[in-house]
Each structure stands twice: as C-alpha cells, then as structure tokens.
Homo-oligomer: A and B are copies of this chain.
C-alpha cells in the first residue's frame, strides 16, 4: 500500500497518535490496572496499521510506565508504584541493605483544612477547596525513622475522612487504589537538607536541631494529575542515595 495518506495528518507520527489514543482508552478505564490489553496483532488489525507500527506505539507507553510487556503472556496495564520507595533515600542501622523493607506506619493525626494557594495550584483545585492532612510516623524494628506530612485533595480522597486510621495499611498507595480508586503512577522527589524542630525531634527520638534530610514528594496518578503532596523528614546521617549520569 502506498504511504500517501500520511502527509495529510497534522503534526505527529502515526505511532505517536496511536500511543495517545491507547493512553486515552487506558485512562478511561477500558482496561483496569493489572489487566491485559488486546494482543498486538488484534490492535494492529483494529487500527488498520502494520504490526511494527502498533509495537512502536506500545513501546512509547512502556517507556512511559503505563504498560508492561510480558513475553508469551501479553501486554498489561501497570499496577502502580508501591510507595515503599522512600527507603531508597535512607539506610537505617540493622536493616538489610538490598531488602525491600517496609517501615511500620502509624498515623499521629488527621486534619481537615482549606488548601493553600500552592496546594490549589498543584492539585488544580479552586480557591477555598479543602484538603486532608495527615501526620505519619514510620518505624523500623519499633524505632522511629521517618516523619511525614501528607496532603490529599478532598473530593477525591473523601473515603479516607473519618476512617479508622489504626486499620490503615503500612503502604498508603495500594490503599489509595482500593478505597479511592486512585492509582499512583509516578512520583517526583525533591531532596534538601534541614534541621528538626522541637516537635519533630521528639517524634523521631532525636535532639532538636538535629540535621535531617527533607524529601518533598509530588505523586501523580495515571492521568498525570498531582494527587498527593508529601513531606518526609529523616535523620541526615542515615541518608544514602546513588545517582547515575549517562
């Protein structure tokens, strides 16, 4: 077949458009996280393109983290990140290095309040909207290690208000998915250095003005919306992170 039809199209390549179209279908919930999407041959047929073209489109979505390929089984919608990844910034004493340890979680306080200007902007809320704020202490071997402040936009996370926090899981992201239908798909962490105030120090069983690392996280759902703002503080002497260039 000749290729002449291509040039009438606006800006993108064909596989780029296909990727956008498939992404939209995933966002609409046509296939739930963890489910298989149709086989490549079927997709190619239904879109009327060659196999290689649909494969390029899928590759874009795999790169983007929306899809995962499994040879011999199929192509699956990503389930979302587990959230335990905060541990990649810290190495605490008496904890195996490579292990995927999850600190025990305890909610110290919950609070409803109006969103700040910055939060309105991040969550794309209108002024005066409400948010749910959590204070959370995470411990390893009964030793407090991380102190977190978590802010969630309120229409979306309404199911968590007046819920029994003692029954919450150690990992919040899977719980977001179960109770609120929110799948965390991407996070961005900004690291800086600070010192603990008196209250924070007491919670972490350290002295006031103790050096700490501050992790400011934005978490995004599968549609790319920011749905969580989190501030994490941990002992600076436990900080250890590795970054590669090129």
- Asked if B244 and A188 make an inter-chain contact with CB atoms under 8 angstroms apart, the answer reads yes
**Contact at A236–B186, with CB atoms within 8 Å?**
no
Contact with B along A226-246 (1 / 0, CB 8 A): 000000000011011111111
Give the nearest-CB partner of A192 in chain B: B240
A151-184: CB near B (< 8 Å → 1, else 0) gives 0000000000000000000000000000000000
Q: Which of A81, A236, A245 has the most CB of B within 10 A?
A: A245
Question: Residue A187 contacts which of B78, B185, B239, B245 (CB distance < 8 angstroms)?
Answer: B245
CB-CB < 8 A to A243: which residues of B? Answer: 188-189, 191, 241, 243
Q: Are A191 and B244 in contact (CB under 8 A)?
A: no
Q: Is A65 an interface residue (CB 8 A)?
A: yes
Chain A, interface size category, equals 20 to 34
- Cβ contacts under 8 Å, A236 to chain B: 193, 211, 236
- Chain B residues near A188 (CB-CB < 8 A): 242-245
Contact A213 B242 (CB under 8 A): no
Chain B residues within an 8 Å CB radius of A244: 186-189
Assess whether A190 is interfacial by the CB under 8 Å rule.
yes
- Across the A-B interface, give the 6 residue pairs with the lowest CB-CB distance, nearest first: A193-B236, A65-B246, A191-B241, A187-B245, A193-B239, A189-B243
**15 more A-B residue pairs beyond the given contacts A81-B246, A236-B236, with a C-beta to C-beta distance below 8 A:** A85-B245, A186-B244, A187-B246, A188-B242, A188-B245, A189-B242, A189-B243, A190-B240, A191-B239, A191-B240, A191-B241, A191-B243, A192-B240, A193-B236, A193-B239
Give 10 pairs: A residue, B residue, CB < 8 Å, sorted on A: A52-B52, A65-B246, A81-B246, A85-B245, A185-B246, A188-B244, A189-B242, A189-B245, A190-B241, A193-B237
